[in-house]
Structure 1
Amino acid sequence: MVDNLLSSEELAALTEGVNDGSIAVDTGFNTAARVKKHDLASEDSSLGVNTSSIDMINERFIRTFRLALMEVLRTSPKINPTKVQVVKFGDYLRELKAPLSVNVIRMNPLRGFSTILIDPSVIFSSLDSFFGGFGKGTLGTLSAGRMFTPMEARIINMILDAAFKTLREAWAPILPLDFELVSQEINPQFAQIADENDLVILSRFETETPTQNVGFIDIVHPYVALKPVRELLRSRLQAGDGNEESDKAWRDELELAVGGASLDSRVVLGQIHTTFRAVEAMQPGDILHFKKPELATLQPNGIPAFEVRIGTVGAQVAVQVERAVAPGGK
């Protein structure tokens, strides 16, 4: 048998010291270690969805959403996306105030439900524009239980249809989605797409009409709904946008729109340097002398663009383009 390390007298002394408090007990283990509490039941956003990929989807969404609104509502407000946030659903709900247009949607084949929230100012300004106004849409004071009228509900559905169409296009390079409207509420507390402590991904789009009427549209996804596709989102981010075909179509549309813009052009044959005093003294019949250049200058919107030769075609005065003017040239 191994001998005891402490004698009976030493053990008795230790016991007496513990009993009278002269020897400290329960001093802990690794008390200097820095620790952080962690709830095993909570979602960890650091290991899941990359929100930068959601930002890219939102950028594609904005490109066509304004055009879609113009087609159906005759209004094209400024729409600025804010940075995507990951927040607790309960914290997000506490910032909202009814009435709002709260639309619960399903994004098949993803699990669960998402929401599209539309600020009443967006609805009322769109309604004003739809009937030929300037998008003022003054709100006044709205009671929390105010229901939307049938005409306002129609405007909401038109906004949703435009959003579904453009969201489908924005998500297409990553995952084909089918959007379905499930229910509509005016109080966000009734749209329980997640528990209060669950994380959600918030995309807010701030809107502003030409009359400076501001509002917002929120798209909220439960964090767990996008986790199954996080690898797809990450791979698209690493490989780039992955939407070259959509970008080319957007560039072509932009080029077509710019190409149809109107420009006031003039042909300048020559210039005379003079003084204000000389101009003030001019009378009808005065002759101004200047050296005629070989070529005139064609100036769209006052910017020298081409050197041209002046002549006639039939009974019309015309110019023939000879060469382009270098940027910054005169």
Structure 2
Amino acid sequence: MSDGNELSKEELDALLSDASEESTEADEGSSTSLKGSDSQFFDPATQARIVRDRLHTLEVINERFARQFRMNLFNLLRRNADISVQSVRYQRYSEFAKEAPAMANINMVSMKPLRGTALITFPHSLVSVIVENLFGGDGRFVTRHEVREFTATEQRIINRVLNLAIDAYQESWRAVHPIEIRYIRSEMHSKFATITSSPSEIVVATSFHVEIGQLESDFTICMPYAMVEPLREKLSNLRADLGGSGNDKIWHNRIKEEVQQSQVELVANFVELNLRIPQVMSLKPGDVVPIDLPEKVVATVNNLPMLECEFGNTEHKRALKVQRILNNHRVPEAILQARTQSGFSPLKAKESDNE
């Protein structure tokens, strides 16, 4: 050390070098101790929950919903729709919103007495499938799904399908916990349909796959996990009476009732003539085309032969009298006898000539 208690240049450099070495060793030691421990970084602004229990009963509810919604769509479209449950996912709402289509019909609904809001999402592709089938299309001319707003006609059809889905979902929950679903509003983008207080909250998202003829699409039902958490015990423990034979019997009776209430068109062609094109082109009002009335006619439903009938008059009206059931359609003889009217008189050829 130099005189006057002042440090020389060499002494200052030595002190500074020792201080830098000590700070480096301290940093390395602290980083090593942090890496060797089990500590993790925690951000208090985020919320993450771990769902340890599978909601088995919710999966049964989804299966029942798929069956009920299939029948409801058949009543609307008059075509068979195959609806299957794809998956039940427990994920953050931010992940669900990221996977959602860019533009879709997102319906916000409440499920009283459960607290919160759920989403029923219909993408553009599903709306196109339903519109195509509702207006008689068969999927031969597939159009490109444009990202656009729905037309007024499409929106009316969506509302009808949404009401069918709500009715089916309510019915599916009835045996577990009766709920009342009410429509709140619709959005086109997921960022305007937030159902959680934080993007990191867990939601339960169920995807359903729809196939109608050659066309297919998907739709999703999403609800916050906090919404169904009060029913966690019910939804985690699968009850034996939810999927047993008694439940199958109820579905069987319901399908039977729906089929019995369906309406079909019965067609009876009396005669078919083979004419050449010049003969048809030469016909004019007042011309008489001779025909031979057959003794029996075959009544068809959707071009399927069903009944062999005799035609005539009853109570001053034209009528058909069933003689034989075709295609092995079993009808009890007592029913046929009860429907036979004593006032039935066969129609003769000379009567038809007077018409």
Measured in 1, the distance between the counterparts of 2:23 and 2:138 equals 84
Q: Kindly provide the amino acid, as one letter, of the partner of residue 88 in structure 1.
A: R
Measured in 2, the distance between the counterparts of 1:22 and 1:117 equals 58
1:22 offset after TM fit, Å?
Answer: 11
Deviations 1:60-80 (A, max 9, x none): 111111111111232332222
Measured in 2, the distance between the counterparts of 1:241 and 1:35 equals 47
Q: Which of 71, 94, 97 is the equivalent residue of 2:98?
A: 94
Deviations 1:111-132 (A, max 9, x none): 1111000121221221122223
Q: Who is 2:206 aligned against?
A: 203
Instruction: Identify if the C-alpha distance between structure 1 residues 157 and 255 changes in structure 2 by more than 3 Å, giving closer, same or farther.
Output: closer
Q: Who is 1:53 aligned against?
A: 57
Count of residues paired in the alignment: 239
Query: 2:49 aligned with 1:44, yes or no?
Result: yes
Measured in 2, the distance between the counterparts of 1:39 and 1:176 equals 39
1:248 offset after TM fit, Å?
Answer: 2.1
1:137 offset after TM fit, Å?
Answer: 7.6
Q: How does 1:1-330 map to 2 (within 5 A)?
A: 21=22, 27=29, 32-36=36-40, 42-47=47-52, 50-134=54-138, 138-143=142-147, 146-194=148-196, 195-211=198-214, 213-235=215-237, 237=238, 239-240=239-240, 242=242, 245-253=246-254
8 Å CA contact retained: 2:127, 2:158:
yes
Please provide the CA RMSD for this pair.
3.3
SS in 2 for 1:203: strand
8 Å CA contact retained: 2:203, 2:225:
yes
1:57 offset after TM fit, Å?
Answer: 1.1
Measured in 2, the distance between the counterparts of 1:137 and 1:122 equals 15
8 Å CA contact retained: 2:101, 2:123:
no
SS in 2 for 1:124: helix
Please list every run of 5 or more consecutive structure 2 residues that lacks an aligned counterpart in the other structure.
1-17, 261-323, 325-355
The range that moved more, 157-166 or 67-76, is 67-76
8 Å CA contact retained: 1:125, 1:138:
no
Q: TM-score, normalised by structure 1?
A: 0.63
8 Å CA contact retained: 2:104, 2:122:
yes
1:215 offset after TM fit, Å?
Answer: 1.1
SS in 1 for 2:87: coil
Instruction: Identify if the C-alpha distance between structure 1 residues 149 and 172 changes in structure 2 by more than 3 Å, giving closer, same or farther.
Output: same
8 Å CA contact retained: 1:205, 1:218:
yes
Instruction: Identify if the C-alpha distance between structure 1 residues 258 and 191 changes in structure 2 by more than 3 Å, giving closer, same or farther.
Output: closer
8 Å CA contact retained: 1:121, 1:138:
no
Deviations 1:107-164 (A, max 9, x none): 1111111100012122122112222332568442413xx2211211111111111111
Q: Kindly provide the amino acid, as one letter, of the partner of residue 96 in structure 1.
A: A
| Greater Rg over alpha carbons, structure | 2
SS in 2 for 1:44: coil
Identity score, percent: 26
SS in 2 for 1:134: coil
Measured in 2, the distance between the counterparts of 1:122 and 1:55 equals 22
1:59 offset after TM fit, Å?
Answer: 0.7
Measured in 2, the distance between the counterparts of 1:139 and 1:22 equals 68
Deviations 1:159-188 (A, max 9, x none): 111111111111112111101110111122
Q: Kindly provide the amino acid, as one letter, of the partner of residue 250 in structure 1.
A: W
Instruction: Identify if the C-alpha distance between structure 1 residues 18 and 173 changes in structure 2 by more than 3 Å, giving closer, same or farther.
Output: farther
Measured in 1, the distance between the counterparts of 2:43 and 2:141 equals 46
The range that moved more, 72-81 or 110-119, is 72-81
Q: Who is 1:283 aligned against?
A: none
Measured in 1, the distance between the counterparts of 2:55 and 2:41 equals 25
Measured in 1, the distance between the counterparts of 2:24 and 2:89 equals 53
Q: Kindly provide the amino acid, as one letter, of the partner of residue 46 in structure 1.
A: V
Measured in 2, the distance between the counterparts of 1:178 and 1:87 equals 25
SS in 2 for 1:84: strand
